[in-house]
Structure 1
Amino acid sequence: MGCASCSTVKGEDGQAAGCKNNGGCSTGGCNKMNVFDWLSNMDAPIESTYDILEVRFKNGRKEFFRNVDGLQLTTGDAVVVDVPNGHHIGHVSLQGELVRLQMKKRGVKDNNEVKKIYRIASQRDLDKYRDVKKREMPTLYRTRQIIDDLKLEMKLTDVEFQADNTKATFYYSAEERVDFRELIKLLASEFKIRVEMRQISLRQEAGRLGGIGSCGRELCCSTWLGDFKSVSTQAARYQNLSLNPSKLSGQCGRLKCCLNYELDTYMEALKDIPQVQKPLETERGRAKLQKTDIFRKIMWFGYDDENTWYPLEVERVNEILEMNRNGKKPVTLAEDTVEEPIDDGGLNSDLVAMDRKFNKGKKRKSKNKRNKKRNFSNKNATNKGTSNKNNPNKGTSNKDSGNVKKHNKNKNRGKRPNNQQKKS
């Protein structure tokens, strides 16, 4: 399969020439929205093959056509197909029984409305189509100028010319309804063609333009995703993702389509996790839910006066919730009651006895030291008293002198003076 910028003509060394852009062709993508036919090498249990083929056009747009004449076609062949009021050139992207499944998936009925394939495109048809495609970019720029002059609230994304150069399809996106009747008249008179305006969504626009996502790979909508399902912020909540619009939005400005990929798995895992509407009541305090690991089935709780989080199994959380419903409170998040330790003379009883023995010895030594200090101080006091007989208060401390005075008072208590005894 060839395009405007690369060809399949073999070089001198026998290798195919091309742009070597690994599928990211600048003219729309040689391998854009390709499908692997996993039934191509299998023998179908039917007498004849399915006569409808899938044909791909610019930017991955695909339609179904019937091979009325029984042409021998392979994937990638350029064919001339029947379109309203003319013919167009596309490339075969899928054939066989897998086409029947794709038609059933997209809701396309196998009836007389399916257009037919005229013939395999010749070199003359390809050259003419290549010349027609050269008009697309100048037409796109000029149409945007006309839209600005008319001040229309619409964004023109792409232009696709039909192979017979009689019709052009203009793809645009707009938030509100646009009256483009005047625009169609100007375009038809300037380009001398029939004009068809087709509105597309922002997701389809991103799929046609292509790009690289935050994951580092090409956008899913431009490589393989054909059906766009609605994505809500509820999908992010179920997966415990932060509701940050800059992280959840894709290139199109809408929520990423990949948010729905693992949603069913998360919904299945959330069935076993209880709904904690209010904090858990314990004797230590109220514990609030901080984080939930859905697949490991672990829930983290934390107290208001602490920064520590305590991991609990789902079974334990259910037990605490049941106790709170019955008006009971566990002691902590991990324990229901506190068990008092019982000293039953176990393995460490001999060590406890040795500790007591050594503690008693230390107490006795400290008492002996105190007694020795007291005796030593009393001896010093008596020695000083005998050396100073003439002046008993001399050389003694204030405390000792006070003790001596008290002793004399007690000794003379109850005795009368000498004068009173003589008078008597």
Structure 2
Amino acid sequence: MGCTSCASGADGQPKGCKNNGTCGTDGCNKLTVFDWLSNMSLPKDMVPFNAVEVRFKNGRKHFYSNPENLPLAIGDVVATESSPGHDIGIVTLTGELVRVQMKRKKELLNLEELPKIYRKATQKDIDIWQGVRDREEDVQKRSREIAMALGLKMKISDVEFQGDGSKVIFYYTAEERVDFRQLIKDFARAFSTRIEMKQVGFRQEASRLGGIGSCGRELCCSTWLTDFRSVNTSAARYQQLSLNPQKLAGQCGKLKCCLNYELDSYMEALKEFPKMDVKLLTEKGKAQCQKIDIFKGLMWFSYEEQAMAWHELSVEKVNEIIAINKKGKKVASLEEFIEEKIIEDAELFNNVVGQDSLTRFDQPKRARNKKGKSRSKNRNKNRKRNA
């Protein structure tokens, strides 16, 4: 999705609207919600829900009441209630879909307790808002220098100015508790505004900053993922993945959220498999499981005395052996339950385009030698005739 100002330029390169999350069309922003009730009219006896959803920098969203009954639409820039002063945001949802979003996020549907929308933003409000946003990058660099000078073990990942410039919020991450009382005094002296510090987790930091994952797509947490569920190493074990921290960790340094996407399917498929620690009793000895293949439904067992010799068994055969062992009996050997598979010879290469053989240069040039011999014979005959 993208707005018209994000189209390609004359040279074919993407222009980019350069609005940094303040695009008015709301088509190229993070965590965009599609209003599927926009073309539907309410019943006559139903009053429209008088609340809107407003988005701020980096996908931060809040719900506000509209006591003045302003005609608001998606993409309008509004001035909202804040403490102190007012903030500037963009409307992302209106109407009944706001009620649905509030129920999903477990927000109270009491409009009186919600902060208010003052007015639609004037040109003066927008100019002040854009002016303070242009300062955020320089303020972030300067704030990091001050924190490093004080020797604080923290990372200031993002800076957000309030719409009227009366307050600036510093988002930071830290592994331990940080005493930033002196830091706030230095910030207030350097930036001459009210300071607010907010600690965020490493996952929240990655969602705010965004980026490209190892799959080549944008990060899920910065595009559509709104809740961060805990990810354990057991999710990787169930999916038969190697416990390599470099491959399992995302940009936030934690386990990737996508490990939970297919976990339920794996858990459902593993119900048909016996446990990995089960041992099969045979007359040749006990056999233990070495490896399983969830997709093909196969298990590999080896005798305890012959650990290097693996035997491939299907899940049905393994369950059959376990059922026999539960009756107090032993099977003769694992080899009796191995199913022989007939592998058909598949043609690896098929010349469907009329290409020449890859070994055409390796063959001797016999045709040319025959021609050379015939030419030499004709020359000898001609010489004899002339003589």
Match of 1:75 in 2: 74
Match of 2:301 in 1: 301
- What is the CA-CA distance between 1:43 and the residue it aligns to? 4.2
Q: How many residues align?
A: 325
What amino acid is the match of 1:76?
G
What amino acid is the match of 1:314?
V
What amino acid is the match of 1:27?
N
Match of 1:113 in 2: 113
CA distance in 2, matches of 1:130, 1:275: 61
Alignment of 1:133-282 (within 5 A): 133-282=133-282
Alignment of 1:330-369 (within 5 A): 330-333=331-334, 335=336
- What is the CA-CA distance between 1:296 and the residue it aligns to? 4.4
In 2 relative to 1, CA 184–240 (structure 1 residues): closer, same or farther, beyond 3 Å? Answer: same
- In the superposition, the TM-score normalised over structure 2's length comes to 0.76
- What is the CA-CA distance between 1:44 and the residue it aligns to? 4.9
- What is the CA-CA distance between 1:223 and the residue it aligns to? 0.9
Give the one of 24, 32, 35 matched to 1:34. Answer: 32
In 2 relative to 1, CA 40–271 (structure 1 residues): closer, same or farther, beyond 3 Å? Answer: farther
What amino acid is the match of 2:62?
E
| 3-state SS of 2:336 partner | coil
CA distance in 1, matches of 2:104, 2:67: 23
| 3-state SS of 1:171 partner | strand
Match of 2:330 in 1: 329
| 3-state SS of 1:280 partner | strand
| 3-state SS of 2:103 partner | helix
Is 1:52 paired with 2:45?
no
| 3-state SS of 1:299 partner | strand
- What is the CA-CA distance between 1:322 and the residue it aligns to? 2.4
Q: Which consecutive unaligned segments of at least 5 residues does structure 2 have?
A: 24-28, 338-387
1:181-234: CA deviation from partner (whole Å, max 9, x where unpaired): 111111112211110000000001111111100111000111111211111111
Contact 1:35 1:224 in 2 (8 A): no
- What is the CA-CA distance between 1:8 and the residue it aligns to? 6.0
Match of 2:383 in 1: none
| 3-state SS of 2:222 partner | helix
Match of 2:122 in 1: 122
- What is the CA-CA distance between 1:94 and the residue it aligns to? 1.9
What amino acid is the match of 1:194?
R
Contact 2:277 2:289 in 1 (8 A): no
Question: Which of 1 and 2 has greater Rg?
Answer: 1
What amino acid is the match of 2:336?
E
CA distance in 2, matches of 1:42, 1:290: 59
Alignment of 1:61-100 (within 5 A): 61-100=60-99
Match of 2:349 in 1: none
Q: Which consecutive unaligned segments of at least 5 residues does structure 1 have?
A: 337-424
Contact 2:128 2:165 in 1 (8 A): no
Contact 2:6 2:15 in 1 (8 A): no
| 3-state SS of 1:277 partner | coil
In 2 relative to 1, CA 43–235 (structure 1 residues): closer, same or farther, beyond 3 Å? Answer: farther
In 2 relative to 1, CA 47–326 (structure 1 residues): closer, same or farther, beyond 3 Å? Answer: same
- What is the CA-CA distance between 1:306 and the residue it aligns to? 7.2
CA distance in 2, matches of 1:8, 1:72: 25
Match of 2:15 in 1: 20
Contact 1:56 1:63 in 2 (8 A): yes
Contact 2:125 2:164 in 1 (8 A): no
The percentage of counterpart residues that share the same residue type is 56
Contact 1:68 1:116 in 2 (8 A): yes
| 3-state SS of 1:335 partner | helix
CA distance in 2, matches of 1:57, 1:113: 20
Contact 1:29 1:59 in 2 (8 A): no
- What is the CA-CA distance between 1:302 and the residue it aligns to? 3.8
1:108-134: CA deviation from partner (whole Å, max 9, x where unpaired): 212232111122222222122111112
- What is the CA-CA distance between 1:278 and the residue it aligns to? 3.6
| 3-state SS of 1:159 partner | strand
1:3-22: CA deviation from partner (whole Å, max 9, x where unpaired): xxx99699xxxx9xx9633x
In 2 relative to 1, CA 39–261 (structure 1 residues): closer, same or farther, beyond 3 Å? Answer: farther
Q: Which sits farther off after the overlay, 160-169 or 282-291? A: 282-291
CA distance in 2, matches of 1:83, 1:297: 59
Contact 2:160 2:170 in 1 (8 A): yes
CA distance in 1, matches of 2:4, 2:57: 17
Q: Which has the higher contact order (CA 8 A, sep 6+)?
A: 2
What amino acid is the match of 1:89?
I
What amino acid is the match of 2:142?
R
